[in-house]
Amino acid sequence: MSIILAGDRSGTGKTTLTLALLAALKKRGHIVQSFKVGPDYIDPMFHSAITGRPCYNLDPVLTSEAYVQQSFHTHSLGAEQAIIEGVMGLFDGATGTDYTASTAHIARLLGLPIVLVVDCGRMSRSLAALVQGYRNFDRRVTVAGVILNRVGSDRHLQLLSDALAAIKMPIFGVFRREKDIQLPSRHLGLVPTEEVNEFEQIADRLAAIGERCFDWEQLAPMLDYLGTADRSAVEFGDVALVEEGKRVRVAIARDAAFNFYYPDNFEALETQGADLIYWSPLKDKALPETDGFYFGGGFPEVFANELANNKPVRMQLKQAIEARMPTYAECGGLMYLSQTLIDFDGQAWPMVNAIPQTVKMGGRLALGYRRAKALATGPLLEAEQSVVGHEFHRSSVVETLAAPLFETQRYWGETGETQSEGFHRTSLHASYVHLHWGNKPEIVQRFLRQCMKFRDSKVSV
């Protein structure tokens, strides 16, 4: 099965229904590979917890159209089904004015059919007009069928079914108001799976609901559909290691506080010559033996007490960074490396103090793609080098003596306004801007070369 589950808008329940489909297929013994349209980190965690495989983001803004095609076809190999969860509404793109980075964009790139998830809670016959509009809006995108969510009663279902029969639109699933599947959420969306108690039981309930509510006979004809995108043009080939036979160690902070990572970034590091060491700033009492650090995003504000109380690691980490160990930190990682973190309750917590600044939770959500130009040379980028990334946070810097890393502006928009952001040191790259390294081997190579230089300098002392 190769299909894309899209919503007619945000909030239709497509994440829950995607998880139900993944769980049901997994329960049937299938090998399932999942994908997520856009830059989101949290939904893919739920995918992976169910399938046992990394979930890959398909984002042509953070990477490229060719990379999206290559990633889908490469990572689908060896799987029996490939399921893609869309983002927002089917035609809602990053610009707001065209289909760029929308679910429809990905469907066209991969030549895959759309299964449209519709919240039917407050409509009956009007459903046909809505679905017909989505089917006809862009004929380059195929809406193959619909899933009806939040159906109220048998009478309600009959009205919906009659309306769709009149326009000859297949129904691939019918979901009632399922009250026993409630996924907890907080200020950045769903709570990550690592913090969800009894997730295995939730996955079992999802599988049972999926088995009962999907029309498997209708889905069967799509099981072997592989899409129509041209694969011959998307081969990137093998990338040589930074230095054959001299692998370097990169320590990845990975626990409940730091878990926003693209699996492509890990794979790029390994492909180019890194051995990855996973460790926990929450639980470990000493730093791992490493040649460089990578701190992803996450929820350090939720675990500020534990992070602050792990003083031995905070002190060791500050010393390592001051000794010029190459370090990459984004969003939550930047917050952790700062001097102080003020949580939602206004309580101030001491952090690593490698960056002379205070970050504070609150305010409105900073969200969107960013163009970022490096203001100085660091462990990942040369001065004046530009990259495209994504911001997603509710904290801000309120006091700083830091040398800014980036000059940023919105990726789209007419204002052209720029702002200084992040923190720079010759060996430290810290920013709110998340970067996807999948099609940027030069960034990975530069970081690993810096790690190699640091490793060799320790050996020569």
Query: Do the Cβ atoms of 3 and 225 come closer than 8 Å?
Result: yes
Q: Residue 374: which residues within 8 A CB-CB, separation 6 or more?
A: 381, 382, 383, 384, 385, 386, 387, 405, 406, 424
Residue burial 138-164, b: 16+ Cβ < 10 Å; e: rest = beebebbbbbbbbbeeeebbebbeebb
Here the tokens at position 340 are 């102080």
Q: Which of 277, 246, 288, 272 is nearest to 452 (CA)?
A: 246
Q: Residue 452: which residues within 8 A CB-CB, separation 6 or more?
A: 242, 243, 246, 248, 291
Cα–Cα distance, 129 to 126 (Å, whole number)? 5
Q: What value, to the nearest 5°, has the Cα angle with vertex 211 and ends 133 and 129? A: 10
In total, the chain counts a number of residues equal to 461
Active-site position among 55, 120, 213, 331: 331
CB atoms within 10 A of CB 416: 7
Instruction: Answer yes or no: 55 catalytic.
Output: no
Q: Residue 408: which residues within 8 A CB-CB, separation 6 or more?
A: 370, 371, 372, 373, 418, 419, 420, 421, 433
Query: Do the Cβ atoms of 171 and 215 come closer than 8 Å?
Result: yes
User: Cα dihedral sign for 96, 86, 391, 250?
Assistant: negative
Strand partners, 84: 4, 35
Cα–Cα distance, 447 to 451 (Å, whole number)? 6
Here the tokens at position 91 are 């035609």
Query: Do the Cβ atoms of 8 and 88 come closer than 8 Å?
Result: no
Pairing type for strands 338-342 and 348-350 reads: antiparallel
Cα–Cα distance, 439 to 236 (Å, whole number)? 9
Q: What value, to the nearest 5°, has the Cα angle with vertex 337 and ends 335 and 339? A: 85
Q: Which residues are catalytic?
A: 331
